[in-house]
């Protein structure tokens, strides 16, 4: 039987609801969606969509690091946008984190996101991935 392990780090924002930052199960890590929150203050990080995306990816990186992983372990991502018109700008930033062998991905437009932000990204990572 596999053990479920909750992953938590102060380097990423506190969850804004009843969920974990990530859950490890066997070789897999399921990360909750990260939004552009400052991890120290818990406040929404303001700036253009590219700056918001960089903040989101920094939060994702912190959660991955807490599980002793990094972006090379990511096998699937989901991007949620409130405006599909931001797709190109988000994609430009996102691509810098996955220069070789990018993960599978879905991108969807949603009517709203927590705290009124414009972008949220969740990832699934796996140990033992060829780097």
Domain ranges of the chain: 4-126
Using 50, 70 and 90 to split pLDDT, how confident is the model at 1?
confident
User: What is the rounded average pLDDT of the residues 70-99?
Assistant: 97
DSSP E strands: which ranges in the chain?
Answer: 4-7, 22-25, 28-34, 74-81, 104-109, 119-126
% of the chain with per-residue pLDDT over 70: 98
**pTM for this prediction:** 0.95
CB 24 within 8 A of CB 67: yes
Q: Which residue has the tokens 């946008």?
A: 81
6-47 pLDDT per residue, tens: 999 999 999 988 999 999 999 999 999 999 999 999 899 889
- Look up the CATH architecture of domain 4-126: 2-Layer Sandwich (3.30)
The answer to whether residue 131 scores a pLDDT higher than 80 is no
Beta bridge partners of 29: 24, 125
């Amino acid at each position: 039987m596999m053990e479920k392990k909750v992953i938590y780090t102060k380097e990423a924002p506190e969850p804004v609801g009843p969920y974990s930052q990530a859950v490890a199960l066997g070789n897999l890590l399921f990360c909750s969606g990260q939004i552009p929150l400052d991890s120290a203050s818990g406040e929404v990080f303001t700036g253009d969509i590219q700056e918001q995306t960089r903040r989101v990816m920094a939060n994702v990186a912190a959660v991955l690091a807490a599980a002793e992983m990094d972006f090379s372990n990511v096998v699937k991502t989901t991007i949620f946008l409130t405006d599909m018109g931001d797709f190109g700008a988000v994609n430009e930033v996102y691509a810098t984190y996955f220069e070789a062998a990018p993960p599978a991905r879905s991108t969807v437009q949603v009517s709203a996101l927590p705290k009124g932000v414009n972008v949220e990204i969740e990832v699934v990572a796996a140990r033992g991935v060829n780097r």
